[in-house]
Structure 1
Amino acid sequence: MSPIRPTDEMIRKLLDGHRHEVVSPSTAHVVADLSPGLSDASIVRVDLGGPSSWGRFVIAKIASAQSDEVPGAFRRGPLGAHREVDVYRTGVVSALTKKIVTPTLHAIDYIDQAVCLWLEDVGSCLDVTWEVTRAVRAAESISQLHQGDLPSLEPKVDWRSNEFDAFRHHVPLAREQVLAALDDHGDHRSVLSVEALRCGLGLLDNAASYAGELAAAPTGFNHGDFHIDNAGWSGDGRLLLIDWAQAGTGPIGGDIATFLSNYRARGGSTGSLTRGQFDTLIIDSYCRALSDGGADDTVIRAARRVIDLWAVSWAVQVRLGPGLAAARREDLGSSIRTGIESDIAEGIERAQNAVERLG
């Protein structure tokens, strides 16, 4: 299903059912398209035309409500739109920890096999500069989400997820792209070395083994897409997270692995620290927070191993599949392609370090 692109007319029609909360739907209009490029969701900022119980501005997120029971899907069953609704309706985040907050969900509408979430506009909370201190605080805060048993909440939800295995469908494309890059390496300038590409092939060969070990790791409730574009800080200083479409139970440490894998590529600063020093600081801070929260040494060791397993599987499969394919597109321009290649090289370097620790 192609993403639904909200028009002013569509927005006003949907808002007509919320007249008691919105001043006048006829004055509402889209003021910004915030949709991420690869998502199947459309996200827009809407000006309601005046003060209302929802505020002056709201976020409308419209995503497919169709089943995703296909190979390589994030989970078996409902798509992320339903999972995100589950997160807001049950209040699972606040039940697990008071150190993390979510935007307020104002209302839900259903249209054309899609779900429309009307959410609090938290743009000002997300508009922050990410540096080392904030990254450490985020790692410490997210640890609380991963600990303890899921409470009994209504409506009841099956929170099982399979993000640890979700990206294996990229392996065939990744192998194809790496072999093509090796074949024409002598004819193209590239920041990716032959050694790095061959290392990538070896990691792809072990995809099934890595996924199996991740499946057996201790689990906790994960955000599922924890990176700085989905994170900010509330007015009272708590970690604020958006985009819960991939939330669910998964290996403890998976969120931190995702955070580290995306951090510099999305504009996060490591200050005077090298990539390796920054990774070590964030992982150590996360593990100390797990310990302070009551996790025993067995769980903490498992979390460290999960972070390494993620680095040699998910992070490489995505980079060498769609990532390397994008880096080879002439229409993107040389600077963009070089940036993508640099990110791939960093991911492979992180994976090589992880392989040494995994033994």
Structure 2
Amino acid sequence: MNDRWLPAPEQIARALAEYLGRQGRAVKVLSTEDLSPGLGQSTVLRVRVDLGDGGTSGWIAKIPAGGNASLLELNDPALVEREARFLSSPLPAAIPTGLGTPPDAGAVRHEGRDWIFMRDVEKAIDHRWTPADAHDVARRLALLHALVAADHTLLATPWLERDGYVGYAHHVPAGHHNLGLLGEHARLASLFSPGQIRRLHACLDALDRLTAEADRITHTLLHGDLHVRNLGRTADGTLVLIDWEHVGAGPVGIDLATFVSLYRLFGGEGELDEEALLAEYAAALSEVASRDLRADAELGFAICHLTWGLHLRLGPGLTAVRQDVFGESETELARHVEDIRSGALRALAWAKRLGIGEEKD
């Protein structure tokens, strides 16, 4: 059931006026478009407004608690307030040149709710992502570590997400269950070989080991949900990152892994050379940190594919396919089945390098 709260234009106008410090001055909402993500926890609106200064402008209004509660929110109570806290903190202004938040992004507390406003960056977000862009993303992601290098106390910020790379670990039992039922679904019966299924079970069971490995490697500031739909490129070449509700502290390599993991599913073009991307990221990261972090970056990258990526695909991913969530859309179904297959095989490749599971079918 979708119980999303949709504010009236007058409410949006009052909240934006307060955010801009224009109380008592005319702000008129000319149009609204609901961009809210499915059953997500936020209400997201594109609004066109007249600020009474002779022109109109486009804004995005986001109300983090305007949507539906989810298991992620239940496991992470700070989720609904984290992005507003981040945008109200000094962190966005400290992000090095080359990365950034959308223009005029910030938050205001209005009538008992957090409201996030930013200039509409639709053109930047609508960028066609290519492998060349992906290499640029890999190099620039290392810049987030510059904040940690400058202030080692940053990662103690209390509202940062912790251990986001295991944010879907509650789906491990469902992953085991779904693997056991593959033979009952015509589309999934030949998805993996028997040997691959055994090794995928072993990967799911390796959670404690992977968490211990993650704890011992270098941590950094993470966007936490980086993929091409949360990333844009402005006219001056700046990479604009949106949706910071998972901003957190975690192992180096995690953001790059989520970007690579969802690249094709979310519309990226061409095939990525993951080894080359990882090498570029690790080299840039080592330069920022003034020490060799290549081994740490590789391990963090691998751990994310074996946790976040695998838990998401074998849990809710396979469940959605088994329950025919995609209905009669053969194209959509095929796209998700291929994502599950490729993501799981990627995890198995890293598992082999880490000595997890069987070596042979």
Specify the TM-score bucket, using the shorter chain as the normaliser.
Answer: 0.7 to 0.9
Would the aligned equivalents of 2:142 and 2:284 in 1 still touch at CA under 8 Å?
A: yes
Query: Are the counterparts in 2 of residues 109 and 116 from structure 1 also a CA contact under 8 Å?
Result: yes
Corresponding letter in the other structure for 2:343: G
Q: Matched residue of 2:244: which SS?
A: coil
* CA distance in structure 2 between the aligned counterparts of 1:40 and 1:190, rounded to whole angstroms: 34
Go from structure 1 to structure 2 and tell me whether the alpha carbon gap of 1:162 and 1:53 turns closer, same or farther (over 3 Å shift). Answer: farther
2:282 maps to 287
Partner of 1:86: 85
1:330 partner SS: coil
Please give the alpha-carbon distance, in whole angstroms, between the structure 2 residues aligned to 1:42 and 1:352. 37
Residue in structure 1 matched with residue 169 of structure 2 by the alignment: 168
Whole-Å separation in 2 of the counterparts to 1:263 and 1:233: 16
Return the offset for 1:306. Answer: 1.0
Unaligned 5+ runs, structure 2? 356-361
Instruction: Write the letter of the residue equivalent to 1:174.
Output: G
Give 1:27 shift: 4.0
Q: For residues 52 and 117 of structure 1, do their structure 2 counterparts lie closer, same or farther at Cα, with a shift above 3 Å needed?
A: farther
Deviations 1:105-153 (A, max 9, x none): 25513346x4211111111111111001111111111111024336499
Residues 1:160 and 1:40: Cα distance change in structure 2 (over 3 Å): closer
1:14 aligns with 2:15: yes
Farther off after superposition, 5-14 or 37-46? 5-14
The CA distance in 2 between the partners of 1:38 and 1:191, in whole Å, is: 31
Superposed CA deviations along residues 74-97 of structure 1, whole A, max 9, x for unmatched, are 975522x42212222223143242
CA distance in 2, matches of 1:239, 1:133: 14
* Structure 1 residue 342 displacement after superposition: 0.6
Q: Distance in 1 between matches of 2:331 and 2:302?
A: 30
1:54 to 1:350, Cα distance in 2 relative to 1, 3 A: farther
> What residue in structure 2 maps to residue 117 of structure 1?
116
Change (3 A) 1:29 1:191: farther
What amino acid sits opposite 1:260 in the alignment?
V
Tell me which of 340, 343, 346 is aligned to 2:339: 343
Cα distance, 1:4 vs structure 2: 2.1
Of 291, 299, 303, which residue of structure 2 is paired with 1:305?
A: 299
Q: Is the 8 A contact 1:24 1:48 kept in 2?
A: no
Aligned counterparts of 2:190 and 2:54: Cα–Cα separation in 1: 52
Q: Could you tell me how far apart the structure 2 residues matched to 1:75 and 1:172 are? A: 16
Q: Residues 252-280 of structure 1: CA distance to partner in whole angstroms, max 9, x if unpaired?
A: 1110111111111111123xx5x5xx111
2:231, 2:42 → 1: CA distance? 18
Take 1:165 and 1:4, find their aligned partners in 2: how far apart are those partners?
A: 29
User: Judging changes above 3 Å, is the alpha-carbon distance between structure 1 residues 238 and 54 closer, same or farther for their aligned structure 2 residues?
Assistant: farther
Instruction: Report the Cα offset of residue 317 of structure 1.
Output: 0.3
8 Å contact kept, 2:253–2:300 = yes
Deviation at 1:200, TM superposition (A): 2.4
Please give the alpha-carbon distance, in whole angstroms, between the structure 2 residues aligned to 1:54 and 1:116: 23
Q: How does 1:151-190 map to 2 (within 5 A)?
A: 151=151, 157-158=157-158, 159=160, 161-182=162-183, 184-185=184-185, 187-188=186-187
- Secondary structure at 2:262 match in 1: helix
Determine the structure 2 residue equivalent to 1:60. Answer: 61
The alpha-carbon distance between structure 1 residues 52 and 239, as it changes in their structure 2 partners (threshold 3 A), is: farther
Contact kept in structure 1, 2:42 and 2:64, CA below 8 Å: yes
Q: Mean alpha-carbon deviation: is it higher for 200-209 or for 348-357?
A: 200-209
Q: Which residue of 2 aligns with 1:296?
A: 291
Equivalent pair of 2:174/2:315 in contact (CA under 8 Å): yes
Q: Is the 8 A contact 1:22 1:54 kept in 2?
A: no
Q: Is the 8 Å Cα contact of residues 33 and 45 (structure 1) preserved in structure 2? A: yes
Matching residue of 1:230? 230
How many residue pairs end up in the alignment?
345
Counterpart of 2:240 in structure 1 is 240
Task: In structure 2, give the amino acid aligned to 1:308.
Answer: A
Task: Give the fraction of aligned pairs with identical amino acids, expressed as a percent.
Answer: 26
Is the 1:253–1:307 Cα contact (8 Å) retained in structure 2?
Answer: yes
Distance of 1:74 and 1:49 partners within structure 2: 38
Provide the rounded CA distance (Å) in 1 between the counterparts of 2:23 and 2:153: 27
Residue deviations 1:145-177 (CA, integer Å, cap 9, x gap): 0243364999x9423622133221111222222
CA distance in structure 2 between the aligned counterparts of 1:324 and 1:90, rounded to whole angstroms: 39
Give the match's secondary structure for 1:108.
Answer: strand
1:320 lines up with 2:314 in the alignment: yes
Q: Deviations over 1:186-229 (max 9, x none)?
A: x5565612434443222111122222322332100111111111
Report whether the alignment pairs 1:356 with 2:352: yes
Cα distance, 1:107–1:345 mapped onto 2, change above 3 Å: closer
